[in-house]
Chains A and B, each alone.
Chain A
Amino acid sequence: DIVMTQSPDSLAVSLGERATINCKSSQSVLYRSNNKNYLGWYQQRPGQPPKLLIYWASTRESGVPDRFSGSGSGTDFTLTISSLQAEDVAVYYCQQYYTTPHTFGQGTKLEIK
């Protein structure tokens, strides 16, 4: 299995400030034939199912605010929220879908400072 490791486990950021979450995979999730990273980011608010924010490591899902951005390639990835809003309080997960099982990171809990 590809192991996905997120850092930090929890994060407290002031409203309007930047939040950065990291995700590292135990092997590359870059498929060289199409130059795509098979990496997604999800947001899970309390009591809700996860919601897809980013796919292909950096493509925002339709309707996702542009303060959310994804970057990285190969084994190292980052989710950035440029200006934290109150509704961004949630747990964030990365997931690789390069090979099954499509493993998730352990999650990063984002709170308001």
Chain B
Amino acid sequence: QITLKESGPTLVKPTQTLTLTCTFSGFSLSTSGVGVVWIRQPPGKALEWLTLIYWDDDKRYSPSLKTRLTITKDTSKNQVVVTMTNMDPVDTATYYCAYTNLKTDKTGGAIDYWGQGTLVTVSS
């Protein structure tokens, strides 16, 4: 059974750096094809894809946020960490981590499993 859980601060101040951790179980991030993705959703708004890390340490970023995001993995701890610098009130959102698998005999990159999300508020 695949599960993912996001953890981190619920409140950050403008200009601070946000660090979120995704702790997962039921899969290994060293398995070929597997990836962990971060997506956010401002209150009442649409989903926004942020960043993705694959089993081979290939990292992808949203071009609009690339300069502010860093994603890393710790395979031994079953964790993925994302940092976002220079936080602003417009970054207030629920942040989700999720599982994906590139294999074409799986979903090929669709997002199969989602964490419950963590609401991060940016306010002074």
**Residues of A within 8 A of B (CB-CB), count:** 25
- Asked if A38 CB lies within 8 Å of chain B CBs, one says yes
Q: How large is the interface on B (under 10, 10 to 19, 20 to 34, 35 or more residues)?
A: 20 to 34
Comparing A17-25, A44-52, A72-80, A82-90, the segment that makes contact with chain B is A44-52
Comparing B7-15, B81-89, B105-113, the segment that makes contact with chain A is B105-113
- Known A-B contacts A1-B63, A100-B52, A103-B49; the reply to A50 vs B111 at CB < 8 A is yes
Instruction: Classify the secondary structure of A's interface with B.
Output: loop
- Asked if A55 CB lies within 8 Å of chain B CBs, one says yes
CB distance from A76 to the nearest CB of B (A): 18
Q: Among A38, A52, A101, point to the contact of B62 (Cβ < 8 A).
A: A101
Q: Interface readout for A27-55 with B: 1 if CB under 8 Å, 0 if not?
A: 00000001010101010100001111001
Q: Are A95 and B110 in contact (CB under 8 A)?
A: yes
- Residues of chain A lying within 8 A (CB to CB) of residue B104: 34, 36
Q: In chain B between 36 and 54, which residues have their CB closer than 8 angstroms to a CB of chain A?
A: 37, 46-49, 52
- Residues of chain A lying within 8 A (CB to CB) of residue B114: 49-51
B112 — nearest CB in chain A belongs to which residue? A52
- Asked if B115 CB lies within 8 Å of chain A CBs, one says yes
- Residues of chain B lying within 8 A (CB to CB) of residue A61: 107, 112
- List the 5 shortest-distance A-B pairs measured between CB atoms, nearest first: A97-B109, A40-B110, A49-B114, A55-B110, A100-B60
